[in-house]
Amino acid sequence: MNLEQALQLLKDKGYKYTGKREEMLKICADERRYLSARDIMERMRGNYPSLSFDTVYRNISTFVNLGILEETEFDGEGKFRLSCSTTGHHHHIICTSCGKTISVPHCPMTVMPNVAEDFVVTGHKFEVYGTCKACNE
């Protein structure tokens, strides 16, 4: 997904256009890696010095619900990135230092032995963590 698609989707769904929403999405589109809510707030402070937590968290939540952002959680906080263009279901190798990702189309669920007949499976998480080349230097 790119910025234009994200803004169009918001419009189609009847959400109002605001400068803050555009800037949030712009930041995510420019960086294309996992950012925390605080990361996003910090990058917006220049243009919107009086930005509220509420605005950022509520908009993030909206974007996640619409599929504009992908969400995960590690190091004790939520992380968000613009949904990958990778078609369909995928996983990530994630740099825990800068949030940069590599997409992995391979999903372990396809080869999971069906040991869980007693479980109603609602989801799964497969992530590989490490540090990227740039962060290693």
Partner DNA sequence: TATTAAATAGGAATTATTACGATTATGCAA
Partner DNA sequence: TTGCATAATCGTAATAATTCCTATTTAATA
Tokens linked to 21: 């929403």
Site for DNA in 15-54 (CB under 7 A): 15-21, 36-38, 48, 50-54
Site for a second copy in 90-109 (CB under 8 A): 93, 95-96, 102, 104, 106, 108-109
CA distance 63 to 70: 9
Site for a second copy in 33-92 (CB under 8 A): 73-74, 76
Helices 37-44 and 53-65 meet at what angle, rounded to 10?
Answer: 120
Half-sphere exposure of 134 (CA within 13 A, CB side): 8
Question: Which residues bind to DNA, rule: CB under 7 A?
Answer: 11, 15-21, 36-38, 48, 50-55, 57-59, 61, 73, 76-78
